[in-house]
Copies of this chain bind each other. A is one copy, B any other.
């Protein structure tokens, strides 16, 4: 069982509210959910759509085949009807000028006028959808209360849903949901929660789609959780504030998308040179420059791993799904503190915005390892040369008579500017030495599929979900496939891949970009090259189905 509902219309028609109500009902009914969002870069008008897929099995990708289209305007039907399954149906305003046996009109205008509020059309449609699946009105009142808050709005929307109920008959036969009590969450909210769980106390950023929702979520808890969320004047200030906050002793974070990251490049190097821990979230969208602000791509990888002048250690983690996003964010703070380096969390619009059902994050697994000294015997110098390159760190103003001097110029152990060749080499080596230790902590890529496979798919970050489903499906089709999906991506973990590529004649990188950046970094590190590529760079996420088709195409099995 696997149903896929598309809700389409123009920005400002309240699609977000409708779909969120529907999702919550499905969640309460214990289904697994996977919802993706396709928005234009505008506030009103245009064409946006949301696809809610639900199932009794765990699902990790959207699907291109639709069971139901909820059309808030006629354009939606034109654009999406070709994706309707054989038994699929379309619902929409009964007055739409559209004749097809698949179309079921609902008198949205009429009913909303009757109710006396033109903004309840969406709720009427929700009622009709529920009826199509044979759901009763359990849970709805609670959800409406949380959504609308004002009594008056709750009542009219409840009425609207009930009216919608009466418009249609049950069509789809769905088994009862039976998942555990799950949370419904997206990637950015998971990162934000991870930051709060890690005890991040300072988040400075400048708004930029699709990263803004990290800031918005933390800001929603600012007062209660006592976290400073500072909207900086620009991205340069944002990162430099975060570095100052970290220097002063709290865990600090900044977040942005590619264009904002470009402005933070100098600051990234500063964090590394000062050896001040820093966590940066970079949520990708298609470039170059402004590109497609509200769409998805994975094209910033090479940029992020090499950005800033000079040479220094950094860690880059690409998050794979909401749960991973949560725990990797916590880990990012721990690694940043342990090695006193910048750690970049890479995400993309797809994972930033898709919502899915997952087990509640297990808070007991969260650790907060600060590696900060509270006592110092004798003289304190900030940049003591040590075996693993990490120098004892203290918080300025916390230990009597101990001073913390940091400098972006090359410096000696005490943090004073040096011009000495010898000091320079020592300091550079000290900084780079951290990499040797960091490499031992790397998490190898996730493996899934058939150990005896002839085909190896490689992916990273958010491609995890679609690849997981694709591999399952390919193996069902008897196309023996396995996949590795990298989370830790720089430094690149090399053990598993070196094993898994042995004897494989089809190595295919599956990436949401045009140049196959994962392939390029694997070449650089291991001199191993993919034989084929599945790439997409039109701003729309590869689905499991698409990956399956393209693999078939590559092996000429069409």
Contact = CB atoms under 8 A, between A and B. Distances in A.
Interface string A494-506: 0000000000000
A425 to B, nearest CB: 5
Contact of A311 (B290, B513, B521, B539): B513
A548 B408 CA distance: 34
A475 interface: no
Contact of A290 (B290, B292, B408, B540): B408
B292 A311 contact: no
A398 interface: no
Given A524-B520, A524-B523, A524-B524, A309 B292 contact: no
B287 A269 contact: yes
A538 interface: yes
A284 B299 contact: no
Interface stretch (A157-165, A255-263, A460-468): A255-263
A125 to B, nearest CB: 24
A175 interface: no
B523 A527 contact: yes
Contacts of A270: 288-289
Contacts of A92: none
Interface residues of A, number: 66
Interface in A405-462: 407-410, 417, 419, 421-422, 424-425, 428-429, 431-432
A307 B265 contact: yes
A258 B309 contact: yes
Contacts of A236: 263
A515 B302 CA distance: 16
A308 B299 CA distance: 10
A527 B312 CA distance: 24
A248 interface: no
Nearest to A305: B306
Contacts of A399: none
A423 to B, nearest CB: 9
Contact of A273 (B289, B303, B540): B289
A297 B310 contact: yes
A286 interface: yes
Contact of A310 (B258, B306, B312, B523): B258
A554 interface: no
A312 B262 CA distance: 15
Contacts of A540: 421
B262 A288 contact: no
Interface string A502-527: 00000000000111000011011101
Q: Which of A257, A289, A305, A513 has the most CB of B within 10 A?
A: A289
Nearest to A288: B310
A386 interface: no
A291 interface: yes
A40 interface: yes
A272 interface: yes
Contacts of A288: 269-270, 272-273, 308-312, 408, 431
Interface of A: 40-41, 46, 236, 257-259, 261-263, 265-266, 269-270, 272-273, 284, 286-293, 297, 299-300, 302-303, 305-312, 407-410, 417, 419, 421-422, 424-425, 428-429, 431-432, 513-515, 520-521, 523-525, 527, 529, 537-540
5 contacts: A259-B309, A288-B312, A290-B410, A297-B310, A524-B524
The 7 tightest CB contacts between A and B, nearest first, are: A287-B310, A258-B309, A288-B310, A421-B538, A262-B266, A524-B524, A290-B408
